[in-house]
Structure 1
C-alpha cells in the first residue's frame, strides 16, 4: 500500500508524484539512507562549539521606509522595507527540535527579543524542518501580531493544526501572494527536502522567496543546495537582479552528505553572482550546531572567497544576532 501524504493532496506535476515532492529535474538527489547517517556519525570530527556567545539584543524602529535587515539568528531575519515588517523562518525557541529537552541548542540568544519586535505584517516560511518551522514561535507571533504566513504547499496543514486561526497562504513554486498594497511574495524553487517525523520525507514542499516591495526586490533563499546552478540563473532571467539576497553559508560539512541540500560559502558567492544581486546578507550559520564545520568557518571562508574573487566584502556581510544593515542607497557590485 503506498504511503499516504499527511500534509497535501493535489494533482501530480513535474515536481510532485502524487505523494512526494521532488527537486527540479537534473539536480542532485537529497535523500540519504540510514546507512549514510551512520557513516556520517562514525566519521564526524569532534568539533566543539561554544556553549553560549553573548548577544546584545536590539530594539528595531517601528517602521522603516527604506530597506533594513536585522539578524535574529540562523535563518530568522527581520526585513523592514517600504514601511512593512516581514520575518523569515522565525525561531525563538532554545532548541531546533520537536522537544525542548534534546536536539540542537542555540548558542546565540535572539538578536531581537520577541516582545521587542515591531508590528509584524507577514512571515515567509520556507519549509517544515524544526530549525525553520517552530510552532511555539508561530503561536507567540500569532497571538501578538496575527501576521499573514506565506509558505509552500503542505506546510499550512502543520501550522493550522496547531494554530487554527492563523492566516496562511500556501502555494506552489511559481505562485505569488499579495502581502500588502504594492508588496508581493513569490514562492520559488530551492534544492532541499522536508520532514517533521518518520515516514513523511518530502511530503510538504520547500522553497525560497522573491519579495517585491515597490521597486525593491529581495531574495530569501532559506535552505538550498547549489546543484547545477540552473535555478538561480533562471531566477535572474525571470525577476532580474535582486537588490538584496539573503543567502545560507553554514551547515555544509561533510560535503558528501550535505552538498545537495546546503551551500557552502563559496557556492553562496556563486549564487550571488548568478542572481546578479547588488548586495547580500549571510545567514544559516553560527546559531545552531547542525553539522561538522567549526562555528566561525562559514564567515571566515565567506570573506576569503570574496577577496579571492575581487568582490568587496562589504557587499556580502555575515551579520551576527542583533546586528543590522541598511541598504538605502543600495550597494552596487
Structure 2
C-alpha cells in the first residue's frame, strides 16, 4: 500500500507539480508556448499558482522542459534550488536570479527538503547533452521521474542497486524525428520501464504533441491510452488530465 504522502498535478508535457510529504517539487517547467512550439493540451497550472517550491528539477535543455521565459516570473527565485544537467543551464538560471541553481551529475544525491532525498539517475543523452532522471525517496514512498528518457536499460541498471518505487512518471508518446532514433519512450517502453522499477502506478507524461512548425519534423508513436491497454493487472496507469490533482488511494 502506498502511503498518502504523494500527490501529482500535471501542468503540461513533462511539467508536473509533485507533492512529497508536503514538500512541492516542480519538474521540467513549461508554461509559455512559442509560435513554433505548442503544447497540444490545455495548461493545467499557471506559474503564478504554484506553491513555494522545495526544488525545481530539469531533465534536459529543450524549451518544452526548460522554460526560461516562465522561470523569470517564479516567486522565490532567490531561495528556490534549481537542479539541471548542464553547467550552461545552471549559469543561465543564476543570471535570472536563482542563486541556488546548480548542475547535478548522474549518481549524485541531494536532500531537497527534510526527509526528502533526491538521486540523479542517468537517462541517456540528446546528441552530446546528458539527460537526467530523478528518484525521490521519503519515509513513506518512492517516486521516479523521467521526463526525457528513451530506453528501458537505464532503469534496469538503476533498479539493480535500488529498492522498487511506488510511482513512476515516464514519457509515452515515443517522439522521434523523421530521421533518427526515438527521443522518448513510447507506451510499450513506459509500461516495461515502470514494471522494471517495481512501480505499482504509472503516470504518463510527455504525451500530447501540438500542431506547430516543429511537428512537421517529428512524429509520435503512442499515447497514454495505449499504455493503459498494454499494462498488466499489477500496474495501474493513471492517465492524468492536466490540472487534475491525483493522490493514491490507501
- Name which one, 1 or 2, has greater alpha-carbon Rg: 1
- The 5 Å alignment of 1:81-120 reads 81-95=20-34, 102-120=35-53
**In 1, Cα distance between the equivalents of 2:20 and 2:78?**
18
Task: Give the number of aligned pairs.
Answer: 241
Give the SS at the match of 2:72: helix
Q: Structure 2: how far apart are the matches of 1:256 and 1:220?
A: 27
**Alignment match, 2:64:** 131
Distance 1:215 1:256, change over 3 A: farther
> SS state of the match for residue 271, structure 1?
helix
Whether the 8 Å CA contact 1:151–1:187 is kept in 2: the answer is no
State whether residues 200 and 234 of structure 2, in contact with CA within 8 Å, keep that contact through their aligned partners in structure 1.
no
Contact 1:141/1:147, CA 8 A, preserved across alignment? no
- Conservation of the 8 A alpha-carbon contact between 1:253 and 1:292: yes
In 1: Cα distance, 2:195 partner to 2:47 partner: 34
1:1-333 to structure 2, matched below 5 A, reads 66-95=5-34, 102-143=35-76, 146-154=79-87, 155-160=89-94, 162-193=95-126, 202=128, 204-226=129-151, 229-253=152-176, 257-259=180-182, 261-286=183-208, 288-289=210-211, 290=215, 291-293=218-220, 297-306=222-231, 310-311=232-233, 315-329=236-250
TM-score in terms of structure 1 length: 0.66
Query: Would the alpha carbon gap of residues 163 and 129 (structure 1) be closer, same or farther in structure 2, given more than 3 Å must change?
Result: same
Q: Is the 8 A contact 2:81 2:98 kept in 1?
A: no
2:9–2:246 contact (8 Å) kept in structure 1? yes
**How much has 1:276 moved relative to structure 2?**
1.1
Distance (Å, rounded) in 2 between the aligned partners of 1:232 and 1:246: 12
For residue 273 of structure 1, give the secondary structure of its aligned residue in structure 2: helix
Residues 83-108 of structure 1 show CA distances to partners (whole Å, capped at 9, x for unaligned) of: 1011100111023xxxxxx3122233
- Give the superposition deviation at 1:177: 1.3
Describe the SS at the equivalent of 1:141: coil
What is the deviation of 1:266? 0.6
Structure 1 CA distance, aligned partners of 2:140 and 2:5? 11
Secondary structure at the aligned position of 2:143 is classed as strand
More deviation, 81-90/134-143: 134-143
Give 3-state SS (helix, strand or coil) of 1:190's partner: strand
| Contact map agreement 1:281 1:318 (CA 8 A) in 2 | yes
Per-residue deviation, 1:288? 3.5
- Relative to its length, the structure with more strand (as a share) is 2
TM-score normalised over the length of structure 2:
0.87
Going from structure 1 to structure 2, the CA distance change for 1:311 and 1:156 (only over 3 Å counts) comes to same
Partner secondary structure for residue 191 of structure 1: strand
How far apart, CA to CA, are the structure 2 residues paired with 1:255 and 1:262? Answer: 14
Matches of 1:245 and 1:283, distance apart in 2? 10
CA contact (8 A) 1:124 1:151 kept: yes
Which whole-Å CA distance do the structure 2 matches of 1:265 and 1:327 have between them? 22
Whole-angstrom distance in 2 between the partners of 1:257 and 1:175:
30
Q: Which runs of 5+ in 1 are unaligned?
A: 1-64, 96-101, 194-200
Residues in 2 aligned to 1:282 and 1:301: alpha-carbon distance in whole angstroms: 10
5+ residue gaps in structure 2? none
